Structure 1
Amino acid sequence: MRPAQQKTSLEDLLHAFRRNIMETFRKEGFKDELTLTQSEVLRFIKPSGKKTMKNIADYLKVAPPSATEVVSDMEEKKLVKRESDKNDRRIVFVALTKKGDKLFSVSTKRKNDVFLRMISKLNNNDRKNFERIIRIIVTE
């Protein structure tokens, strides 16, 4: 197989994998309670409890106004709240609300359970290799 054919084949496999995941989530009754971007923001904020708007924009690799739009939508859903820095009012922190924390935790657990069922078709060695390969790809 020529490199171009391999790339197309790999691309087709990746799209099929993504479609399979999305279809499985749909069958499992997942609602679109969080967009992928909103989920990423919650995942980014969770370890420290709060992040600045600039941190969020940098993490998402978007302009600050785009990050503000995402956070505003999340604030309307009461998933996050904004807090001004006590020493410098120009700095705005974004923190998880109890609702945002709970939704993220429940959603993450449900998705993890689905992924584990999906990869249960693999033997233990293949599962470890799958995880190892994904770690290599996402850390580059």
Structure 2
Amino acid sequence: MDIQEFAGKVIELFPQIIRGFKQYENNYLTRGEITLPQFWALGYLDHNGRCKMHNLANHLKISPSATTGLIDRLILQGLVARKADLHDRRIVWIELTAKGRGIIKSISKQKNEALIKVFGKISAKDREHYLNILEQVAKITASLPDKK
């Protein structure tokens, strides 16, 4: 199979795979209550703790104004909060609320359970091979220059 045919097949399979995994989950993300970029922002805050808006924008690779809009929508849902710095009022921190932490925990648990159900039907050798390929793809995509 040449690379063009491979790319076409991957493009064809991705939506099918995503729909398949979605049947194992019922959460804010799968119900469309938060977007994928909002989920990534919540995950970043969960993993890294509070941060400044520009750190989150850099991580998400979106503009500061788009990040502000994204955070505003998460604030309206009660998932994140803005907190003024106690020592420098020019600094505003973004942090998860208890509700936001609960949502991330719930989504992560459901994703983990779905992965176990699906990949439990695949041999350990094939899972290891698949993981190796995913790690290679992650390494390649991490080294790509930002698209401006």
In structure 2, the CA distance between the partners of 1:112 and 1:95, relative to structure 1 (3 Å rule), is same
Residue type at the aligned position of 2:86:
K
How many residue pairs match? The answer is 137
Identity over aligned residues, as a percent?
A: 27
Which runs of structure 2 are paired with 1:1-140 in the superposition (5 Å)? 1=1, 3=2, 6-26=3-23, 28-29=25-26, 30-140=30-140
User: C-alpha offsets along residues 21-61 of structure 1, whole Å, 9 cap, x if unaligned?
Assistant: 23431464442233111110011111232111000111111
Between 60-69 and 29-38, report the one with greater CA deviation: 29-38
Work out which structure has the larger RCO, using CA pairs closer than 8 Å and 6 or more positions apart in sequence.
2
How far apart in 2 are the matches of 1:109 and 1:83?
Answer: 28
CA drift of 1:14 comes to 4.2
Residue type at the aligned position of 1:22:
R
How far apart in 2 are the matches of 1:129 and 1:23?
Answer: 21
TM-score (norm 1): 0.86
How far apart in 1 are the matches of 2:139 and 2:52?
Answer: 24
The alignment yields a C-alpha RMSD, in angstroms, of: 1.8
Match of 1:47, SS state, is helix
Match of 1:139, SS state, is helix
How far apart in 2 are the matches of 1:88 and 1:15?
Answer: 51
